[in-house]
Amino acid sequence: QKEVEQDPGPLSVPEGAIVSLNCTYSNSAFQYFMWYRQYSRKGPELLMYTYSSGNKEDGRFTAQVDKSSKYISLFIRDSQPSDSATYLCAMNSNTGNQFYFGTGTSLTVIP
Amino acid sequence: DTAVSQTPKYLVTQMGNDKSIKCEQNLGHDTMYWYKQDSKKFLKIMFSYNNKELIINETVPNRFSPKSPDKAHLNLHINSLELGDSAVYFCASSQSSWEKLFFGSGTQLSVL
């Protein structure tokens, strides 16, 4: 079983829709959770960083962590064509020496 | 001012050649990484250095050799390039192995 599972999509939504991106994981020691956005031919860009369970909001983006279910989500409100990218989740524990990545979800927001 | 910079951005070369990719970070981070991203966008860790010391050395052919002259630099040298080495290689850095990870813009390696 992979450490982190993420639906690769592709996901296609109309402009203005609410987008939900998700990852599940198997290691209960994970405490640090990140979401990255990667545009075509660019490096991954850190969007959200959260510690332990709970929600974190930044503008149109909300990151949610449910450690009891080993499930994390990224919500994008009022999605824009500029949100079209691949979204990667990543996570780690404070005893681990590397980040564990999902396979990425490709999102297209149609004008 | 770019936080993690890597050069070159594109590298096209023939099979059997030796090439290097350079990486520098100006964030003052202690830990640097090399990742390989395949065509399906999966990021696979190759190496990790903490303050010039090798921490992670994943199952990577020994044709790949990282070198960290100081904690702000981590270079990747590849000997005897093969077709299967074609991918995008990302350098990254973080303050510690669980803190925010910042990526460079990538090096697209094409082996012909």
Q: What is the pLDDT of residues B88-111, one digit of tens each?
A: 999 999 998 778 899 999 999 999
Please tell me the predicted confidence (pLDDT) of residue B53: 86
pLDDT at B79 over 80: yes
Rounded average pLDDT over B44-52: 89
- A40, with CB counted inside 10 A (0-12, 13-18, 19+), is exposed
Q: Mean of the pLDDT values across residues B73-86?
A: 96
CA distances, A28 to each of A31, B55, B59 (Å)? 8, 23, 25
Which one-letter DSSP state was computed for residue A15? T
Report d(CA A48, CA B65) in Å as an integer.
32
What is the average per-residue pLDDT within B46-69? 89
pLDDT band at B1 (very low <50, low <70, confident <90, very high): low
In whole angstroms, give the CA distance from residue B94 to residue B22. 17
pLDDT at residue B92 in the model:
96
Contact B102 A46 (CB under 8 A): yes
Per the CB < 8 Å rule, is A94 touching B56?
Answer: no
* More confident call, A52 vs B77: B77
Q: Mean pLDDT over residues B40-55, rounded?
A: 88
Distance from the Cα of A17 to chain B's closest Cα (Å) equals 25
- Stretches where chain A sits below pLDDT 50 are none
Which pLDDT does position A1 carry in this prediction? 64
Per-residue confidence band for B72, with pLDDT thresholds at 50, 70 and 90: very high
A41 contact residues in B (CB cutoff 8 A): 106, 108
Which are the contacts of A56, defined by CB distance < 8 A and separation ≥ 6? Answer: A48, A50, A62, A63
Look at residue B77 and tell me whether its pLDDT is greater than 90: yes
d(CA A30, CA B34): 22
For the beta carbon of residue A35, count every other beta carbon within 10 angstroms: 24
Rounded distance, CA A55 to CA A65, Å? Answer: 6
> Using the beta-carbon criterion (under 8 Å), do A94 and B98 form an inter-chain contact?
yes
**C-alpha dihedral, B62 to B68 to B69 to B71, nearest 10°:** -170
Per-residue pLDDT at B9 exceeds 70: yes
Given an 8 Å threshold on Cβ–Cβ distance, is B97 in contact with A97? yes
Helix (H, G, I), strand (E, B) or coil at B84: helix
Compare CB distances from B41 to A32, A86, A98 and report the shortest one's residue. A86
Percent above pLDDT 70 for chain B:
98
- Joined tokens for residue A77: 């409100």
